[in-house]
Chains A and B, each alone.
Chain A
């Protein structure tokens, strides 16, 4: 039996599974939350609309993949974690409450799964995992960098080199500092949302960010 094709998922309105929590979620929508398109998609998903899941995946998977790649340090692992993230979004869809932004909830899941992945015993020994990618790195599974040439067409060679070194330096930060920095400075989450994603206070987030930026400045001074 062939697996269900991607196209089958796109029929609007066909439920995926049980929708026990739908009524509860619908009753607790805070004022204005349903106007947020991401919240609206989650509420539709909770009500059993599978097309809503596909829309959420299309919209957010590129960010989750990029975040996971930088946090976990490997493209292959990042793809696996990304799958896990969205499967959890589906499995625990009824736990999502519209009081909180969907992106915050999503990145809370992503951060937890990434940090778990980093802590796995077989990953503990790592050497030079964030070296700039060489020619033979494409075929190897292993930590790889996003190509900073993809950053901005108008930037010159020195900016590309800075970006390359920056990616490497971010990869050397302790995991929680790295997560705080990526969520705040790259993904643009507000401090309170970063705090929620990391399960700590805003004050702790600011402390993580201060330490992270001090480390980066020290490492990258010659490129800045």
Chain B
């Protein structure tokens, strides 16, 4: 029993850095699906083209996103998928509403 507990402690200690790394950095590259890798690669190239200030802003927003509870992150993903299904008229309307809403804040 004591031996099993010791083994469990060792295994947890070994896993902890990996868990912390995952929390800190997200999934490693090799764990992305092929489609995710394509998307990440395309977005990385776009990111590289941005001015430094915008890159910094994106990193800050990424940090905010990562600090959100999982269900909140999932909600945002669902909202994005909803937006993706909009036709051009709906997208136009959404953006106009956004600018109206923002101006009133």
A and B touching (Cβ–Cβ under 8 A): yes
A: residues with CB less than 8 A from B are: 151-156, 158, 162, 187-188, 190, 222-224
For residue A64, give the distance in angstroms from its CB to the closest CB of chain B.
Answer: 15
With A and B bound together, what is the CA distance between A155 and B92 in angstroms?
A: 16
With A154-B39, A154-B84, A223-B88 known, 11 other A-B pairs at CB within 8 A are A151-B42, A152-B39, A152-B42, A153-B38, A156-B85, A158-B88, A158-B91, A162-B88, A187-B49, A188-B49, A224-B88
Residue B57 is within 8 A (CB to CB) of chain A in the complex: no
Pairwise interchain contact A224-B92, C-beta atoms closer than 8 A:
yes
Q: Kindly state the separation between the CA atoms of A224 and B35 in the bound complex, as whole angstroms.
A: 26
Q: Does B50 contact A (CB under 8 A)?
A: yes
B17 within 8 A of A: no
Number of interface residues of B (CB under 8 A): 14
Compute how far the CA of A151 lies from the CA of B85 in the bound complex, rounded to whole angstroms: 17
Residues of B within 8 A of A223 (CB): 88
Known: A153-B35, A153-B38, A153-B39. A188 touches B50 (CB 8 A): yes
B87 at interface by CB-CB < 8 Å: yes
Residues in A neighbouring B88, C-beta threshold 8 A: 158, 162, 222-224
CA distance A31 to B100 in the complex (A): 48
7 contacts between A and B (CB under 8 A): A151-B42, A152-B39, A152-B42, A154-B84, A156-B84, A156-B85, A158-B87
Residues of B at the A interface (CB closer than 8 Å) are 35, 38-39, 42, 48-51, 84-85, 87-88, 91-92
Alpha-carbon distance A190/B52, docked complex (angstroms): 11
> In this complex, what residue of A is CB-closest to B34?
A153
Q: Which residue of A lies closest to B42 (CB)?
A: A152
Chain A min CB distance to B52 (Å): 10
When distances are taken between beta carbons in the complex, the residues of chain A under 8 Å from B38 are: 153
Does the CB pair B42–A155 fall under 8 Å? no
Nearest CB in chain A: distance from B73 CB, A: 17
Give Cα A40 to B91, complex, Å: 46
**Chain B residue contacts of A156, Cβ below 8 A:** 84-85
Closest A residue by C-beta to B35: A153
Q: In this complex, what residue of A is CB-closest to B88?
A: A158
Which residue of the partner chain A has the closest CB to B43? A152
| Cβ–Cβ < 8 Å partners of A154 in chain B | 39, 84
